[in-house]
Structure 1
Amino acid sequence: MLDTATSHSEKRDFIRMRIDTPVTLVHEGNVIAAVCLDLSSSGMQVKAPQPFQVGDRLEVRLESDHPSLEGLHATAEVVWIAAQADGQHTFGLRILAMR
């Protein structure tokens, strides 16, 4: 049975995990506190107080609270951005490299 009401975000090639956790973004030497809304093997959706441009490259740091798990440190590229009514900005990041 085909569900035509399925949204585009649910038709992705990669499963996304909703995580709502703090992340640190570094852009051109500026450190920005943000929230990672969801994460997949190839990207993430982030909410931050400042806008970025499509094509901007960011360093992303998602630290782990668990001593046996490493955090995620990645270079990512902004692929879309949307202003929110609360003055925040949500944007999609494509992970280019992980360290």
Structure 2
Amino acid sequence: MKGYDDKRNFYRMMLNSEVAVTVIDDEVNTTITATCRDLSATGMAFEIDHPLSISTQVKVKVDSASSQVQALDVSGRVVRIEEESANCYLIGIAIEEID
């Protein structure tokens, strides 16, 4: 692919959509609202106001803007955490399953 600088196998779609992130825990599953920044076939990045631990299992639901397109539900694990500013963390997940 000429001019393709990103060395990824899949293109990344840039988003700015609200998503529901459920942190999977043995005791309590907690759902938080986050902002999805980007999405590809194998991963996703979203921003939240607190960090998550590497390898944390999560489920993410991306609602569709159209009633004709089904919402996206994915399961994955945290593989990257970047503190962007006070109370703003960019969390990268590897998608392991699409429901």
User: TM-score surpassing 0.5?
Assistant: yes
The percentage of aligned residue pairs carrying the same residue is: 25
- Aligned twin of 1:11: 7
* Aligned CA-pair RMSD: 1.6
1:16-95 counterparts in 2 under 5 A?
16-27=12-23, 28=25, 29-95=29-95
How many residue pairs match? The answer is: 93
Task: Report how far residue 11 of structure 1 moved.
Answer: 1.6
Which 5+ residue runs of structure 1 have no aligned equivalent? none
Deviations 1:32-85 (A, max 9, x none): 100110000111111111211110000100011211100110111101101121
Query: Secondary structure of the residue that 1:65 maps to in structure 2?
Result: coil
| TM superposition outliers: structure 1 runs of 4+ over 2 Å | none
TM-score between both structures, scaled by the size of structure 1: 0.86
Which 5+ residue runs of structure 2 have no aligned equivalent? none
Distance, in Å, in 1 between the alignment partners of 2:18 and 2:59 is: 14
**Normalized per residue, which structure has more helix?**
1
What amino acid maps onto 2:77 in structure 1?
A: E
